[in-house]
Amino acid sequence: MKPRLWNTVPVKEKAVAFTFDDGPNAVYTAELLDIFREAGGRATFFMVGTSLEEGAETAEAVHAAGHEIGNHTYTHPDMTKLTLEEAREELRRMEMSIRKVTGQPVRTFRPPYLAVDERILSLAAEEFQYDSIGAANPEARDWEQPGVGFILEKTRPTIREGAILLFHDGYGDRSQTMEAVRALVRELSEAGYRLVTVSELMAMARGETESFGRGSLS
């Protein structure tokens, strides 16, 4: 199967993955750690290299709490506008930055702006063994601060088994996102959903139990 961008993962149990882009942020990432600790869930944080450099301590707290850190590139470019070598360097630099925090290989990649083409998908899968991750709810556009009600209205209909939900904890005021996520976490927990990392979703789909999955589903 060709590498692809995963918006929803085919699983048979009530599990969803909350993901957060552009952090870490000392205020909002810390708030998310509290939200997920209270709910007994885990999330995936797609961090940017420049933010990670400024917030290494926060990134370490994310890892220590059992959440996943994914590659969102080092400088947040539109990867489709880069040469293959430039794109490779973006991923490589960020991989190394994350490994300094976690001591582990990175498993997942989300392209900035969700902008991707076959070159980038192949690069991520074949050279880095990444699963490339999209989102089930891009219309929520929480990065534009459209209002808590709007974020919820655009996200709730996309929720199903295996859905990957996109939000932001970096680059600006994310108070609306925090309020919306807090409400969604409460609703989904009450509805019996497990809140898991993206790699846990991928492992479920592959029938793996002891370790996270790598590469593309077959």
Q: Is 168 a catalytic residue?
A: yes
Picking from 117, 111, 115, the residue whose alpha carbon sits closest to that of residue 130 is 111
For residue 17, report the phi and psi dihedrals to the nearest 5 degrees: -120, 115
Burial category of 215 from C-beta neighbours within 10 Å (exposed 0-12, middle 13-18, buried 19 and up): middle
Q: Which of 67, 72, 76, 168 is catalytic?
A: 168
Whole-angstrom CA distances from 213 to 24, 123, 130 are 24, 18, 10
CA 3 to chain centre: 17
Q: Is 76 a catalytic residue?
A: no
Beta strands in 31-170 (DSSP E): 44-47, 68-71, 108-109, 131-133, 164-168
Q: Which of 21, 22, 131, 142 is catalytic?
A: 21
Task: Kindly report the three-state secondary structure assignment for every residue of 37-60.
Answer: HHHCCCCEEEECHHHHHHCHHHHH
Catalogue the active-site residues: 21, 168
